[in-house]
Structure 1
C-alpha cells in the first residue's frame, strides 16, 4: 500500500476530525452530539450528525493511526487503584485500599443522577448560572445547604460564611500550603500520618517536616510545645498579612489515618492554647470526622442516629478574648460519598478565608468546582446525602466491629491494635523487631491478602513494625475471613526463626 505525503496529510485531517467529534460527550447510544453546537448552520449540523453516526474508519486509516501511535480507542486505567497496580491480583483481600467499594459507589452514582437531572432541568430553563463562572466561595446554594447539613450532623452550629468549596482535601491542603507558606517553612506532623500529606508538604511545597511524638490518644501536646519553642529561632519566615503564620501543625484529629484514634477534648483545648501561644496555623484534616459509629441515645432535639466528635475548628472559639483564628479545617466528600466527585470544603477563620478567596487561583477560576457543588447542593436538599451517610455509618460500623472482634479472638496477645469508633482504618503494632514488609510478602504469597505498610505513614520510615487495615473496600464476610488469615500469617511469622 503506497501512501503519498499529500494523501497522508488529508487522511490524518479526516481521522482527527472524526475522532475528535467521537471523543466528545456521548449520549447513551455512543453517538457524539456535543460538537454540533459549533456548526455554523442547520445544514452543517445535519451533515456532521450523519457523518459521526455512520462513519467507519477504513483499514488504511486504522493502520496509519496505529503507526502514528494514535489508536482509535486508547486504553487507560479505569481508576487510580488500577493505575498504581493495587488491584492487579484480584484474589487478594484488599485491606490496603482506603476507598469506598463498588456497591457504595453505585449508590452515589444513582444519587448524582437524580440530583443532576433535577438541577440541570432547572438550569436549562433559567439563567443557567451553574454553567457560568461561579461565586469564588462556591455555589451559594451549596454553602447554605452544606452549613445546615453540617450543623445537624455535628450537632454544633456551622456558619456558611466560614465555608469555601474545594476540589477535594488534597487540593485543599496544597492550596492552603502554597498560599500561606513557602519553601523551607516548617510543618509539624504526627509521627504517623496521612502519606499524601507528607508528599504534598515535603515534595510538592518543599516544606520541612518535624515529627511530633504520639501515644494511644494522639499527638503529644507538651512535646509539640517544646518543639515549636525549639524551631522558632530556626525559621526564616517573614510574617505578613498574606502569610501570618510562621509554621503549620498538620494532623487528622478524628478517626485518624492511619491509627483510627480520636484526639480527646482536653488535648484539643491544649492544642488551641499552644497554637495561639506560638502563632502557628493548625491544618485540621477532617475527612473522617463525620464517619462516627457512636450511636446517639437520647438526642431528641437533633434526631441524630450517630454522634460525631466535636470538630477541632469549634474548639478555636470565636468568643475567646485571645481568639485570632488558628484552625483551618480541610474536608472532603471522598470518604462520606465518593472520591470521583472531587469535591470538598474548607471551614476557615476570616483572616485565612480572605487569603484563599482573594488569591489569584481562586479569583481566576471563580471558585473551585462550582458545577459539582451545585449538583451536590440539590442532593443535600433532597435528603439523599444524609441518608447515604447514615447507611455508610451503619455499614462501616458493622465491618469495623467484625474486624475488631475477629482480631481480638485470633491475634496473639503480643500484637496490639487500635479499636476505632469511626472512620476507615485500624492500626496493628507488631513486636518491635518485626518487619511488616516481610510480613506483607508472606501475606501476599501464602495468605492472599494485602495491607498498607506502616512505614509509608512516616516521613523517615519509622513504624516499620506497624500495618494499617482499611474496611471500606471489603465486604463484611471477607473482612472476617481475611482477618483470620492475617492472624494465622502473623502467628506463623512470629514463630519463624527468620523473624527480624
Structure 2
C-alpha cells in the first residue's frame, strides 16, 4: 500500500513533538533531564486518588462510573469547576463548562471549530508547541502577537487578507507560559481584548499553569477582565482552557473549557463526534480529589516547585558564562534561556547529550516561523537540588566551551 497517495495534505503539516521524543530519555538513569515540563510523580496525591477511585467503584456508583455518560462531562465536576471559575472572577454556570480529555483536546477542537485553510491565528513568539501542533492540521497562517507592540487591528487584518483568510483568534499562554515562564501583564491582557474586539476575533486563553504562582500578585484571567467590561460570560469572546494535569494528575487526562454557552454547544458536537465523552471514572476521581484536596495539595506543589525554581535561578547565575540570559518566572515550571547569537539550541542539545548527559528542549520548535534557534527551555519541575546543581554546572561549562 502506498499510503502517501491516500493521505490528506494536512498530514504534511503534522510533526512529531520534540518533547515527547525527549521524554524517552527519562528512562536512562545517567541523564539529567530539564526537558519535560511534567509534574514530579513523587508529588501526586496517590492516596487521595486510591480513596476516590474506590468510592467511584463502590456498589451504587460503579454502574455510572463504568457506563457511557453525557458529552458535557460529569455534573459534580462541572459544578465544582463553575464555583472554581467564579472564584477566579469568572462567574458562570455548568452550561459554560465542557470537560475535555486534557486541555490539549480543547486546543484541537478549537482549531477545528474556527480555522479554515488560510485563516490567520495570532500567537506569541515563542508559544506552546502543543498549540501549534493542534492548530497546524487545519492549515492556518500564523502572525506574531506581541501586546507590547503598537500594531493595530487594521494591520493584522490586512496581513490576514493578503494570506487568503481572516484573523480567527489569538492564542495566549497567559501565566508562567510554556515555554518562557513569563506572565502577560494586566495592561497587555486589556490590549489583547481591545485588539480582538476590533478584529471581531476570539481569544483562546491557555491557563494550564495558572494555579502555580509562587510569588508576585495574581493577574486576573483575560476572561475575567472581559466579563468586567461586558457584564456576562455570554457576551464574551474569550475561551478559557484549564487543566488538572499540572495540579492533580496528567495521566487521568482531564481538562476543561469555560466559555459562552453557544461555544460550549458547538464543542459538545465535536466531543460527540470524536470520543463521545471523557472517561467518567477519571472525572469522578478528579471531582472527589478536587473537592477535598485541591487547595491544600496545590499549596504543597507551590512550595516544592518554588524551591526548585529558586535553586535553578541561583545555579544559572553561578554557572552561566557572559552572553547568556534567562527569564525569572513567578511560577510554573520553566526557565527560558537565550544563548549568544549564532549558537544553535538543537546542535547544543546533541553535544550535551553526547558529552554532558544533560537534556533540555531546543527553542526553535516553539516558534511558528522556525526562528529562535539560539534559545532553549529548561524545566525545574522534576529535578531535585543536586540534579539542578550538577546539570547546570555541566551545561554552563559546555556553553562556555562553545563560546570559546
TM class, shorter-length? 0.7 to 0.9
TM-score w.r.t. length of structure 2: 0.87
Query: Structure 2 CA distance, aligned partners of 1:210 and 1:480?
Result: 39
Q: Does 1:450 align with 2:378?
A: no
Give the structure 2 partner of residue 355 of structure 1. 266
Q: Does 1:90 align with 2:29?
A: yes
Give the structure 1 partner of residue 392 of structure 2. 483
When residues 175 and 447 of structure 1 are mapped into structure 2, their CA distance, relative to the original with a 3 A threshold, is same
Q: Which runs of 4+ in 1 moved over 4 A?
A: 80-84, 155-159, 363-366
Shift, 1:318, TM fit: 5.7
Classify the secondary structure of the residue corresponding to 1:426. Answer: strand
The 8 Å contact of residues 82 and 88 in structure 1, kept in 2 or not, is answered as: no
Shift, 1:221, TM fit: 5.0
When residues 193 and 246 of structure 1 are mapped into structure 2, their CA distance, relative to the original with a 3 A threshold, is closer
Aligned residue among 29, 39, 61 for 1:100: 39
After TM superposition, the structure 1 stretch with the greater mean CA deviation from structure 2, 348-357 or 423-432, is 348-357
The 8 Å contact of residues 187 and 208 in structure 1, kept in 2 or not, is answered as: yes
Q: Does 1:388 align with 2:322?
A: no
When residues 389 and 155 of structure 1 are mapped into structure 2, their CA distance, relative to the original with a 3 A threshold, is farther
Larger radius of gyration: 1
The 8 Å contact of residues 81 and 87 in structure 1, kept in 2 or not, is answered as: no
Query: Structure 2 CA distance, aligned partners of 1:228 and 1:116?
Result: 49
The 8 Å contact of residues 201 and 237 in structure 2, kept in 1 or not, is answered as: yes
Shift, 1:467, TM fit: 0.6
Give the structure 1 partner of residue 236 of structure 2. 325
Shift, 1:167, TM fit: 0.4
Q: Does 1:409 align with 2:337?
A: no
Give the structure 2 partner of residue 18 of structure 1. none
- Count of matched residue positions in the alignment of Structure 1 and Structure 2: 385
Aligned residue among 144, 169, 176 for 2:103: 169
- Structure 1: runs of 5 or more not aligned: 1-79, 238-244, 296-306, 496-500
Aligned residue among 194, 202, 207 for 1:286: 207
Query: Structure 2 CA distance, aligned partners of 1:92 and 1:486?
Result: 12
Query: Structure 2 CA distance, aligned partners of 1:361 and 1:95?
Result: 34
Give the structure 2 partner of residue 424 of structure 1. 333
Give the structure 2 partner of residue 47 of structure 1. none
The 8 Å contact of residues 172 and 206 in structure 2, kept in 1 or not, is answered as: yes
Q: CA RMSD in A?
A: 2.6
When residues 486 and 183 of structure 1 are mapped into structure 2, their CA distance, relative to the original with a 3 A threshold, is same
> Structure with the greater relative contact order (CA < 8 A, sep ≥ 6): 1 or 2?
2
Give the structure 2 partner of residue 441 of structure 1. 350
When residues 177 and 83 of structure 1 are mapped into structure 2, their CA distance, relative to the original with a 3 A threshold, is same
Aligned residue among 210, 216, 221 for 1:311: 221
The 8 Å contact of residues 290 and 308 in structure 1, kept in 2 or not, is answered as: no
Query: Structure 1 CA distance, aligned partners of 2:398 and 2:102?
Result: 37
Give the structure 1 partner of residue 46 of structure 2. 109
